[in-house]
Amino acid sequence: MFRVYARRIGLIAGLTALAGTAFLSGPAAQAAPPTPPSAATARTYLSELTVSAEGSLTGYSRDKFPHWITQSGTCNTREVVLKRDGTNVVQDSSCAAVSGSWFSPYDNATWQAAADVDIDHVVPLAEAWRSGADNWTTSKRQGFANDLTRAQLIAVTDNVNQSKGDQDPSEWLPPVSGYHCMYARMWVQVKHYYGLTVDSAEKSALSGVLNGC
């Protein structure tokens, strides 16, 4: 009788552990970029940004923002973000993601293949160039393009990222309106940290979003 009871206790413990594991690897455990400042802090940051008309794209090239660079071992920045933002991601010996799932908060879509996912620069490289990065060193532009410390890189649906292009928030916001506040907080954090400018339409759009958070 005691052995039956012990087996039951063991079974219950095993199921409890299994349930815990399943919970941790499910949507509730979805990883994400570093958390940006609160809306209140973002509003303060926004007020501190220099307002200036956008510069030109003269001389711009994505090659002037070297990416994706090696982060550790055989893993480059894209692969690190895929692992960070995905669920149950398995990588091969070269660090390529061979399985897993990725939830894109821009459009609430989930993908099972890494090829369907882009790593979005929240503040696009061309936007940064027009906002002051044209005067940076290549080293600083490389740091910007591979920034894992701030909320500048995020795994999202590829065609949604492509529809964004290099537009700022006065021209484009994620299709999911519930993500606008987070997106604005991310955008402002990056521009504030790097001392980039905002144009008047961009600042107005960001203010509208942040005031509604």
Distance CA 128, CA 146 (A): 13
Distance CA 131, CA 57 (A): 10
Instruction: Give the distance, in angstroms, between the CA of residue 207 and the centroid of all CA atoms in the same chain.
Output: 21
- Sequential pLDDT tens for the chain (213 residues): 433 333 333 333 333 333 332 222 333 345 689 999 999 999 999 999 999 999 999 999 999 999 999 999 999 999 999 999 999 999 999 999 999 999 999 999 999 999 999 999 999 999 999 999 999 999 999 999 999 999 999 999 999 999 999 999 999 999 999 999 999 999 999 999 999 999 999 999 999 999 999
pTM (two decimals): 0.85
